[in-house]
Structure 1
Amino acid sequence: MSKTVTIIDTFGFFFRSFYALPQHLKNKDGFPTGLLTGFTNFISTLQKEHDSDYIIFAIDTKGNTFRNEIDPNYKANRSAPPPELSMQLPVAIEWIDKMGYKTLGMSGYEADDMIATVTYLAKEQGHKVRVVSHDKDLYQLIDDDRVTIVDAIKRKSVNEAACYEKYGVTPSQFIDYQSILGDSADNVPGVKGIGKVGAEKLLKEFETLDKIYENLESIKGANQKKLIESKEQAYMSKELVTLKHDVFDTIDFEEYKMDIENPFLNIYDELVQYEQNAVLRVLHAKNMVSDEDQKSAIANVMPDEMQMPQLDFKATLITDVTILNKILDKLTPDTVVAFDTETTGLEYDKDKLVGFSFCTDEKEAFYVPFAHFYLGVPEQISEEDIKVAIRKIFNSKVVGHNIKFDMHFVSRFLEDDTLEVYADSMILAWLINSESALSLDKLSDKLLGHEMVAFKDTVKKGETFAGVELEDACKYAAEDAFITAKLYNLFLQKLELQDAMHLIEEARDVEFPFIKTLLTMEKEGIEVDSAFLEEFLVEVKATLSSLTSSIYELAGTEFNINSTKQLGVILFETLELPVGKKTKTGYSTDEKVLSGLKDAHKIIPKLLEYREVYKLFSTYIEPLLKLSRESSRSRIHTSFVQTGTATGRLSSKNPNLQNIPTRTPLGAKIRQAFVAGKGKKLIGIDYSQIELRLLAHFSEDSVLVDAFKNDKDIHLQTAIVLFGEEDAPSKRSVAKTVNFGLLYGMGQKKLSDTLKITTKEAKEIIEKYFESFPTVKTYFRSIVDRSKEYGYIETLLKRRRYFDYENATPMFRAAYERESVNSVFQGSASDLIKLSMNKIHQVIEEEELNATMLLQIHDELIFEVNAEEADMLGDKFRAIMEGIMELNIPLKASLNIGDNWSELK
């Protein structure tokens, strides 16, 4: 699982804070405090809202940098900062260290170089990176889904789309863009006379600075002369603006862990001195400091003398079965009981239950241990009594937070799959805001202002919860049940305030029953042919070995093929192939670059093949084989995440079985390893063109409705409308791309890239589509207008996805418009498949069918059934899927039966 590194452009942030907040802010002694107030606000936000694992404060050091050797005039005309700012800077820097965070700076380099190097190393280790800065110089680091820039003052994130929206160039072009444009603030000369529009236009046409100069003869007018006269300055500017990503070779991210508890306690005296009253009020409200100690230096108190915040509930340990039964006897079938388990680990098929907690009000929560084991452990309640107690609790209305996890352990412990769940507070949180952090501790901190006891502070490293002393275990476990109860009640109130009481019914009718559906699927798993994988592994290793030898021979030397840096040197320096593009970390060797060089050298096809085979080997074959060996039944059990996407689609993890490749022969072969058990068959049922059918249903467009009602080829019908009868057959694939692309917000640039046509042609196709399907255009517009008016869209089952248009930049507003349309269709398709899964699960149980639902891959369901019943059950399940809801058009699903997954397509 990838981790997140947050890197602060420290001085840039301080300058931004200084100018963003009222500069007249001073304490009673007249000392300016605006910057300090901005900084404490930021740290508070970090603690509450930022889901990050590591945090690094990058700083500039005194003296010149290597850039002054390139150009002595670099940053020479910068004026001194205001004295009010200079006075606060040393205090703020000192606070970073005192609070327990770390700075990172190096003589001869700028903070931006620290950021670039950390980003490069973080990406190498598979981490995601958030750079907190408003400095456009860092835009060259943006890498969607991996590196984003965050403006902490405006609380906006900048990705590739935002960069393009603002500047008209991509992050990969940003160095060249700055090289042409220059920067008067830093004395970067650029190309004199060419401004933002000119630089953008040149890069759109020629892509890079090098290609601009290679094609000077085709550049007409004054720009050609300007470029010729400023060539030396342009390339010097490029050296100045290119950030160093190799200032150091390694970094231990564990030194920069973000999990610092109560950082403000370490600067309590300074907070009082500089009158940081907002932070002080929070500390006092949480009872972290007493009134009598408000003037004392809490930072100097030894850690073991510090008091945890006073909890506003009673945590009670129960080790006497008589007391336990007395409490449980008060429960009725209508009592809502918040319930949570404590276990020895996260794997239900290997780890054990050691205790459970529960809470029936907002005053007291209980922890009941039974399998703690350490020297001197007191007597606990017996296992048999625990089983009776859990059954009593489940006679009431049980609420959990991510209760699917708990149910795996409970049902295995009791050997009973019939226990019913009443509600899940995590699912309610997701229904309220599908894009918020959903963990119990984050929700507690953000919504209740309550910092929960940390697991790492309760369980010693290398040990399990079974080794935790009972009193400490009680504090931790009882709090989980208490916070779950608190949040559950809060979410019911929030849904009422949002005028979304219907979502409570949707949750009870669909989402909560879906937990049981997924539990059954996860427990069953899917069988893997280990022998097949073993043979495939040998084959793939041999292929990799052969490809490696061929690549070494063609390169004339041995090198690390998986190293982008080493490969770039081989291709573009040793073999002198034409450079496609350079990134901030060196030569780009991505698939697009290599594909463009296919005919340039015999090594390229070998490299492309090697990459495909290596990904197959490392991402799928080895991990799947390992998991199958660990199972006595050779079955792989994925974990489905019900709240993993904003649209409602399921995601899959440990392992992810929803992204197994199918488009290449070797990738498709992986699916052969997933097999039906002895005497069984696999059934695959796939909704046909579900999003387009939903478009026809919602928009009621006559052409679409007619095509689906009469079972016509929808893509061919679209091609006829767009290109005419004669050209339609040859243009069917184009129509298919347009049909699906427009549902997902595809614009003319993306369409031109996908179809390999000009943007002008793509624009004409889109315009013709909407001219031909005016009802569709009107419906798309109505989705966007409604999302702006109400701040959300609704799916078929009235699930909502919210969009904050009010506080959005123009770029984000455009993104929200695209996502609002996408969310209606993808979210509604998710509703239908979820309804079908629940219904089929119910039918299998009620009719005691010899069938199990194994996997959901977006719009497809996969089942394992007795071979002799495959046809009958396939037809039965397909009929349920096609009839799950009556729409304006018929739902259709395709049915395939086979011995392994690959035969289902």
Structure 2
Amino acid sequence: MATLTIIDTFGFLFRNFYALPPLKSKKGIPTGMITGFMNFIVSLGRDFPTDYVVFTLDSKEKETFRKEIYKDYKANRPEAPEDLKTQLPIAIDLIKEMGFKMLESPGFESDDLIASLATVASENGIKVKIVSHDKDMYQLIDDDKIVIFDPIKKIEINEEECFKKFGVHPKDFRDFQALVGDSSDNIPGVRGIGVKTAAKLINQYHTLENIYAHIDEIKGAVKKRLLEGRENAFLSRKLVTLKTDLFDSINLEEFKYPEINPVLKVADKLIDLDIKSIVDRVKKDGLFIKTKEPESKNIEFDAVLLDNEKELFETIDKIGDKIVAFDTETDSIENPNIVGFSFCFEEKRAYYVPINHNYLGVEKQIPQDAALKAIEKILQKKVIGHNLKFDFKMLRKYGINTPIPFADTMILAWITDPDSAVGLDSVAKRYLNHENIKFREIVGKNQNFSNIDLITAAKYAAEDAFITLKLYEKLKEKIWDEVKWDLENIEWPFINLLIDMENEGIKVDIEYLEKLEIKISQKLQNLTQEIYNLAGNEFNIKSPKQLGYILFEVLKLPAKRKTKTGYSTDEKVLNSLKNAHPIIEKLLEYRKLDKLFSTYIIPLKERAKKDKNHKIYTNFLQTGTATGRLSSKNPNLQNIPTSTEINIRNAFIAEKLFVSLDYSQIELRLLAHFSQDPELVKAFLENSDIHQKTADIIGTTRSIAKSINFGLIYGMGPKKLSETINISMKEAKEFIKRYFDSFPTVKNFLEKTKAEARERGYVETLFKRRRFFDFAAANARNIAAFEREAVNTIFQGSAADIIKKAMIDIKNYNPKVKMILQIHDELIFEIENEKEAKEYKKIMENVVKLNVPLKVGISFGKRWGELK
């Protein structure tokens, strides 16, 4: 499918202006926005290929049809900064000189041109990508025919992403906007109706007309606000509705991507503006810029439905010593049951075995007992899969002992490119240019896979196994060439280790949580009344809009900053106002308690009640972070607060005894190891207090030294340090200078790491696992971020590798070990006796030999909160 990219010119340039540093040429001309824009043009040709491009502009006439409807439309727009005004005409000239088509129409805004172009193009079978940050664009999204494209995050925003972000579908977006309004365009909406309430109303009633037709079903304050704001709601919908009929047809040839590299057409002008690096990069890459992503040429194969038991086992016997890709189909993601399985070991054929499909007239299937025996037989082969942890964990329910797999393509994809999506559909598109059948295309609403007919199911499921085998063949070449990481001894056995941890779970004291619930509920009630008294009004404390009104309109506190939806009332703003009014301290306390209540206490209690043993089971993600650290979700048990005042961790209890084994200052020890700084190495060899030693050397307190020690590993600059420890920028700069003067080897190592990352395009952890960075395509802001992440990966990534290997070594030492949790540098076990824990401590301290010793702290307790 051909692609048209439509760029909201002013909106995009404005975004670049505020996103990038204020660069200037030697002649003093501001160039930050232009640099960001030209980087986008380079990436448009290389990373985001397109057949057609058009830039849309707002009408030069100030009186648009929306102004006629509502004279205050966009009346609150501030004057553009001078540096922005200087760069805009330069950017417009560059667009013209590069040969791109620009469109404007008297009386209409850029958004209307975009809507009309997108409508005509999509009706003619052209895929449309809209480059804009304007919320109005969400009403145009049409499945994957019209999408919003974010060039920074490199993602397409489709219907699914729209719903994730706003809670409504694109077809309902105009009516949703009509309720919430838009402060940036001065669109009133309905006062007091926030995003969540609007989404709930829209999902139930879909249109304003239907909402007001059923107004008597709506109760309380919401009904009152809707009735009071009726006129504004319908006015707002008129204002946000985009014109889609400005063109009867379009001549796409006018928008054709330039055949000659557009950047070279303006090279002299860019060099004059001192934006030479972009020109150099384009010249180095050559004149050719691919203008189109290759059409998805789906790889052809035969999907075979195996519903005969004899044929099934005969087919498995043919696998022999070949690699076999394996995948299961289930009836749900949480607590799944098997519906069928697929496998592939041949060049052009894959198989699907139906087991538990359930619909009227379902055809012959393989009995479950026979199917499970067949799976056990397959698992004795060189089995690979994509996210085998899910499949293996589900199979454990059926008494199947899962082996160490031969490979997992999800992990291979993550190792190769840890910053990109690792789902099978994404990886297949990226490496094979193959579009998988989408799950949502075959499974309808309120259905699961067991309701799908066998022929359709076979095509979908067999494709997963077939593509997994193709991906393995593709990815193994990249892995062996680029990533020197011990997959066989660490990543593959780690899959089963994580399943053991997840299945073990951790017991919860429900009665303890219920007492906390009562205690915090009472505190929140008291705080609510105190806040009302201090405000002189009752209002929704959780509504940023209403809170902003109380703080900055009623109480007249100094407003720090405004967002598109009103005054900012985030934690940073509230902390800056601590001494301005007694209400602030109460609000901060309210937010802290409310978060504990709604994020932890209630959800944890409800989860624990659902399990007969009152246990909670988390899900560990092996591919959840770019540095290699494990992450946890559903629920995230790595994020349970450590507060002792409201001690949520004490709700987690051991049936016997907990032990915590925690690597002490592992990242600082790695800093000493890598930099070989004499002072740091000496301090760790002598078992000194490293923070106190640093404090003594640079002449400050231990707490400040600690912030500096850890902060520099993560690329903390003077601004962040000043905010963290509440000192001036001048003092922060002085402390950092003193630190690097005292530890010059550390500074040299950090600078060398950044330089090597830029030169090679990657960094390596202690165990030679690589992380890649696209410095060539980065703007100034991204380069700085890449450098910080490169340094961070060396330390955090190496620490992640070390603890991963320690977990494997402990599991090998004692296969029956009850490993409960991993929280980055800490492991928590449930043990029989303290002697057992001391063996694990020894293993952790000897997992790798550094030029400074690894140290592990140890503590015991019956409750998690008792562990030090």
Does TM, normalized by the shorter one, top 0.5? yes
Matched, 1:694 2:670: yes
Aligned to 1:137: none
Matching residue of 2:601: 621
Q: Is the 8 A contact 2:6 2:128 kept in 1?
A: no
- State the shift of 1:551 in Å: 1.6
Match of 1:345 in 2: 332
Q: Tell me the CA shift for residue 416 of structure 1.
A: 3.1
Structure 2 residue matching 1:788: 3-state secondary structure: helix
Per-residue deviation, residues 615-640 of structure 1 (Å, max 9, x unmatched): 01111111111110111111111101
Matching of residue 882 in structure 1 with residue 845 in structure 2: yes
Q: 1:900 corresponds to which letter in structure 2?
A: R
* Pair 1:445-2:429 in alignment: yes
Q: Relative to 1, partners in 2 of residues 1:270 and 1:840: Cα closer, same or farther, differing over 3 Å?
A: farther
Counterpart contact for 1:791–1:803, Cα < 8 Å: yes
Deviation at 1:587, TM superposition (A): 2.0
CA contact (8 A) 2:303 2:352 kept: yes
Is 1:712 matched with 2:700?
Answer: no
Match of 1:873 among 832, 836, 840: 836
Q: Distance in 2 between matches of 1:67 and 1:766?
A: 50
Change (3 A) 1:43 1:700: closer
State the Cα deviation string for residues 270-307 of structure 1 (Å, max 9, x = none). 879988999999899657xxxxxxxxxxxxxxxxxxxx
Pick from 582, 590, 600 the counterpart of residue 602 of structure 1: 582
Tell me, yes or no, if the aligned pair for 1:319 and 1:369 is still in contact at 8 Å. yes
Cα separation, 1, equivalents of 2:512 and 2:625: 34
The reply on whether 1:325 has 2:313 as its aligned counterpart is: yes
- One of 624, 630, 636 as aligned partner of 1:650: 630
**Could you tell me which amino acid in structure 2 is paired with residue 877 of structure 1?**
Y
**Counterpart in 2 of 1:214?**
none
Alignment match, 2:711:
741
- Using the TM superposition, give the Cα deviation of residue 576 of structure 1 relative to its aligned residue in structure 2, in angstroms: 2.5
1:573 shift after superposition: 2.0
Of the candidates 379, 388, 405, which is equivalent to residue 421 of structure 1? Answer: 405
The residue aligned with 1:816 is: 786
Counterpart of 1:772?
Answer: 742
Matches within 5 A, 1:499-648: 499-500=481-482, 502-503=484-485, 506-648=486-628
1:428-451 deviation digits (Å, cap 9, x = unpaired): 111111111111111111221111
Aligned equivalents of 1:59 and 1:555: distance in 2?
Answer: 43
Q: Distance in 1 between matches of 2:730 and 2:336?
A: 60
**Superposed, which structure 2 residues align to 1:11-90 within 5 Å?**
12=10, 45=48, 62-63=64-65, 65=67, 66=71, 85-86=102-103
What is the Cα deviation at residue 95 of structure 1? Answer: 3.3
Task: Give how far 1:480 is off.
Answer: 0.2
SS at match of 1:658: helix
Change (3 A) 1:671 1:805: same
> Structure 1 residue 370 and structure 2 residue 324: aligned?
no
Deviation at 1:247, TM superposition (A): 5.7
Matched residue type, 1:442 = S
Aligned partners of 2:534, 2:827: CA distance in 1, in Å?
A: 46
Distance change (3 Å), C-alpha of 1:430 and 1:535: same
Q: Return the structure number with greater relative CO, CA threshold 8 A, min gap 6.
A: 2
Change in CA separation of 1:599 and 1:807 when aligned onto 2, cut-off 3 Å: closer
**Equivalence for 2:475:** 491
Instruction: Look up the match of 1:464.
Output: 448
Q: C-alpha separation between the residues in 2 aligned to 1:97 and 1:411?
A: 47
Of 849, 862, 869 in structure 1, the residue corresponding to residue 828 of structure 2 is 862
User: How big is the shift at 1:373?
Assistant: 1.2
Partner letter of residue 573 of structure 1?
Answer: E
C-alpha deviation, 1:15, in angstroms: 10
CA distance in 2, matches of 1:789, 1:689: 30
Could you state the TM-score of these two structures normalised by the residue count of structure 1?
0.70
Match of 1:681 in 2: 657
Q: 1:419 Cα deviation (Å)?
A: 2.6
Aligned counterpart, 2:210: none
Deviation at 1:520, TM superposition (A): 0.4
TM-score (norm 2): 0.73
Choose the corresponding residue for 1:754, options 705, 720, 724: 724
Deviations 1:504-524 (A, max 9, x none): xx1112111111111100111
Q: Distance in 2 between matches of 1:858 and 1:429?
A: 22
Choose from 660, 666, 670 the match for 2:648.
670
**Please, which runs of 5 or more residues in structure 1 have no aligned partner?**
1-6, 17-37, 49-56, 106-110, 123-129, 135-147, 153-239, 257-266, 288-308
Residue 827 (1) aligns with residue 820 (2): no
Structure 2 CA distance for partners of 1:8 and 1:751, relative to 1, 3 Å: farther
Q: CA RMSD in A?
A: 4.2
| 1:292 alignment partner in structure 2 | none
- SS state at 2:502 partner: helix
User: How much has 1:763 moved relative to structure 2?
Assistant: 1.2
1:828 partner SS = helix
1:703 and 2:679 aligned: yes
Q: Note if contact 1:357-1:365 (Cα within 8 Å) is conserved in structure 2.
A: yes
- Of the structure 1 ranges 481-490 and 585-594, higher mean CA displacement relative to structure 2 is found in 585-594
Asked if the contact 2:76–2:184 (Cα under 8 Å) also holds between the matched residues in 1, the reply is no
Shift of 1:84: 5.8
Q: Distance in 2 between matches of 1:762 and 1:72?
A: 37
Residue 59 of structure 1 contacts residue 104 of structure 1 at CA under 8 Å; is this kept in 2?
no
Deviation at 1:604, TM superposition (A): 2.0
Q: Aligned with 2:638: secondary structure?
A: coil
Question: What letter is aligned with 2:313?
Answer: N
The residue that corresponds to 1:223 in the other structure is none
Partners of 2:415 and 2:483 within 8 A in 1: no
- Aligned position for 1:335: 322
Q: Deviations over 1:394-440 (max 9, x none)?
A: 11011010110010111212x13343311100111111111111111
Note closer, same or farther for the CA distance 1:96–1:681 as it changes in structure 2 (3 Å cut).
farther
1:660–1:568 Cα change, 3 Å: same
| Post-superposition offset of 1:790 | 1.2
- Aligned-partner Cα distance in 2 for 1:68–1:519: 56
**Residues 743-776 of structure 1 deviation map (CA, whole Å, 9 limit, x = unaligned):** 1101111111212222122111111111111111
Number of aligned residues:
699
Partner of 2:379: 394
Q: Secondary structure at the match of 1:534?
A: helix
Q: 5 Å matches for 1:221-370?
A: 243-244=185-186, 286=296, 311-332=299-320, 334-347=321-334, 350-370=335-355
What are the Cα deviations for residues 311-349 of structure 1, in whole angstroms up to 9, with x where unaligned?
5111100000111111111223x32110000000012xx
8 Å contact from structure 2 (residues 6, 129) kept in 1: no
CA pair 73-338 structure 1, distance change in 2 beyond 3 A = closer
The worse-fitting range, judged by mean Cα deviation, of 451-460 and 780-789 is 780-789
Give the counterpart letter for 1:346 in structure 2. Answer: I
Cα separation, partners in 2 of 1:513 and 1:322, compared to 1, 3 Å: same
Q: Which moved more, 1:472-481 or 1:598-607?
A: 598-607
**2:300 is paired with a residue of what secondary structure?**
coil
- What is the Cα deviation at residue 384 of structure 1? 1.6
Structure 2 unaligned residues grouped into runs of 5+ = 15-40, 106-112, 142-146, 157-181, 208-247, 260-288
Q: 1:85 offset after TM fit, Å?
A: 3.7
- Matched with 1:115 is 134
Q: CA deviation digits over 1:667-717, x for unaligned, max 9?
A: xx110111102xx01111110000000111111111111111111111111
Residues 640-683 of structure 1: CA deviation (Å, up to 9, x unaligned):
111111100111110011112224622xx110111102xx0111
Task: Report the counterpart of residue 792 of structure 1 in structure 2.
Answer: 762
Distance 1:46 1:379, change over 3 A: farther
State the 4+ residue runs in structure 1 displaced beyond 6 angstroms: 13-16, 38-44, 57-61, 71-83, 87-91, 99-105, 117-120, 148-152, 248-256, 267-284
**Does the 8 Å contact 1:528/1:628 carry over to 2?**
yes
Q: CA deviation at 1:495?
A: 2.5
CA distance in 1, matches of 2:814, 2:820: 13
Deviation track 1:165-219 (CA, whole Å, cap 9, x = no partner) reads xxxxxxxxxxxxxxxxxxxxxxxxxxxxxxxxxxxxxxxxxxxxxxxxxxxxxxx
